[in-house]
Chains A and B, each alone.
Chain A
Amino acid sequence: MLGALCLCAVFAFSYVTYADEDIQSVTLSNVAPSITTINTSNDSYGEDQLVIVPAEGSDFVMYIHGTAYDQNGCSDIDDVSQWTLRLYRSGVGGGFLCSGDDSNCYNPSSNSTLTLSGCSGPSDTNITYQWTVTLKHYIEPTDASASSFSSNDWKARVVVNDVSSDAGYLADSFEVATLRALTVPSVIDYGTLAPGDTSTQQNIDVTNTGNDDIDFYVKASGAMTCDRGSIPESEIHYDLNDGFVYNSVSGLSASDTPINATITRRTTSISKKTMYFRLKVPTNGVSGHCANTVTFTAKSNE
């Protein structure tokens, strides 16, 4: 029983009124949350993209965002620790239970952040999420031009567990574009040569900066232009074999020449091939500084 609710003075006496309390209770069952929408994009909160394009030679960011719903209230799923994301190529062993691999299976933790927003309070049932995931440029491509996994796609699978450990999930499919790219040193310097000399061998590392095995084309922009005169690009001989003999191989041309180098897709370490160059200077008609441009263009591996 409760103490006196009021002690009301009326004239020379008072009467006493009491109140009593009834503790009411109910237990509301838990309802599992659900992922309402999921989008994959190269842009923050961007429109859903069917194809994600890696960045050449460096890590890149993709976003997985959408909304989730919990009938019990969004506060039931508003802690980042309740959320998990798995990005994986559909054909990888284990599927969404795959082991982490920068090429085909991401279980983002340290390389991602999750932002939860839009939950205005216990009576609100919706929440917006966005994962920002940093991926390696050499993740396995699955688009039509991919050399190995064109029949696969990638999955983004978002799972949220509410406080009662009931889970909701949703997966989205997307393709990772094939990126064939390479890098080479910016300068090939043959040093100072006398007319009629043949340079020493210059080693040029061609590095695969895409996500598929590649060959490449090579061509010269034209003859090397000197302070006086010029040197035909055909005087620049090249080969994939170290110590090649100048006269045993051909020289550059102004059109693409395919080089079947087969530079494989990087996995754990950088993947590259070395190409060797030598320049033979004409016996007359040129002097001073000479220069041109040699272009390396990645192509599908043959």
Chain B
Amino acid sequence: MTNISRFFRLNRRGESQAHVVYAVTFTIIAVVALVGLIMMNTEADDSGQSATISNAAPTLTGSVLFYIPGGDTDIQGDTDLQTPTEGTWTTYGVSGTVSDNNGCADYNADTTSSKWGLKIYRVATGTTANDGADCSSSNASCLIDTYQHIGLGTCTSSVSQTFNWAVDLPYYLQPSIGTNAPASTDTWVARVSIKDASNAEVTGVTAGFEINELNALAVTPTTDYGTLALGGTSASQTIALTNTGNLVQDYNVYSNDFSCVLGSIPKTAVKIKANTNATVTTPMGTSAGEDWVVLNDSVAVATSAVSSGTTHSTWLVVPSSGARGLCTNTAVWAARINGTVGD
């Protein structure tokens, strides 16, 4: 400022010169301010942006199929009957194609039962398939996630995959067809439920299929009456009978004569006592048909892993002569439909 004042003083020699100086000075100041303002407006900085994409529920493409692995690829709707395997569980398959526009990871990241659900159940006549979906778990009529084993195909176009669901079904499934099945007008379906990460769900139900009647049993494979003298009577032996089918059953039994190292023992030497009626004894029948022994046991169908069965006592009355050594025969036990269906 000192220098400016001096300058002013130096230029008081004329009023016009002072106005010029002021003009120039203000001009310079304005320019500097303008440049500074411009410089201030061109500096870089961050600004946050966001967008919300709505969830798309998964969908099922095409039909959900119920099939036999390595066999019939599409059981439902066929006239073929599905006969359970005697005394054991059989693996079936449920397949389909699931898509999700949010991407495959939206449904395949978690294939546990919380996201992937399967029910196989009997549907009463006059109702829709989904009406039965709320059935309570029962190995005989409503199977839920019986075997959590899902195979997924390759993710196609980032959104779609095939799935194959292995499911084990027991031998005692309630039959849905046949004169001895009270639910003979019902049908069976398999229902798939798939949820994505947002718990949006898609469900699919197979066409109906029929479970056939199976009247089967398992019997103690061998009965050894021990070593006996001619004319002797054996100790009582227990014959265990197990219902390995899906119908309440009675039994018939017959046998051939014992063939011995020497001679034979007539089949009628074997006596049977029904455990339900200890006073009744009868000789073993002689052939299938009229001669066989009829035992009315009404053995229920199994309902869980615990089998259902009964026992009978048999013993052997050895003839007084005419045979020696090891004697064997075969008793044939046949399951006979009792006429009611167990649960």
Contact = CB atoms under 8 A, between A and B. Distances in A.
Contact of A72 (B227, B228, B258, B321): B321
Interface in A4-52: 5, 10, 12-31
Interface stretch (B15-23, B30-38, B79-87, B90-98): B79-87
Contacts of B214: 15-16, 18
A13 B178 CA distance: 7
B121 to A, nearest CB: 20
Contacts of A75: 262-263
Interface in B199-253: 210, 212-230, 234, 239, 244-245, 247
A302 B173 CA distance: 108
A123 interface: yes
A166 to B, nearest CB: 10
Contacts of B179: 10, 15
B153 to A, nearest CB: 35
Contacts, number: 178
B213 A15 contact: yes
A76 B262 contact: yes
A15 B215 contact: yes
A21 B331 contact: yes
A25 B217 contact: no
B224 A26 contact: yes
B316 interface: yes
B60 to A, nearest CB: 31
B141 interface: no
A125 B321 contact: yes
Q: Is the interface of B mostly helix, strand, loop or mixed?
A: strand
Contacts of A31: 229-230, 324
Interface residues of B, number: 65
Contacts of A94: none
B29 interface: no
A5 B254 CA distance: 14
A125 B179 CA distance: 54
A67 B264 CA distance: 23
B223 A25 contact: yes
Contact of B217 (A13, A16, A20): A20
A122 B263 contact: yes
Contacts of B329: 23-24
A1 interface: yes
B130 to A, nearest CB: 26
Contacts of A164: 324
A30 B216 contact: no
Interface string B305-338: 0000000001010101111111111111111110
Interface of A: 1-2, 5, 10, 12-31, 71-73, 75-76, 122-125, 163-164
The 6 closest A-B pairs by CB, nearest first: A122-B263, A72-B324, A15-B213, A26-B225, A18-B216, A19-B334
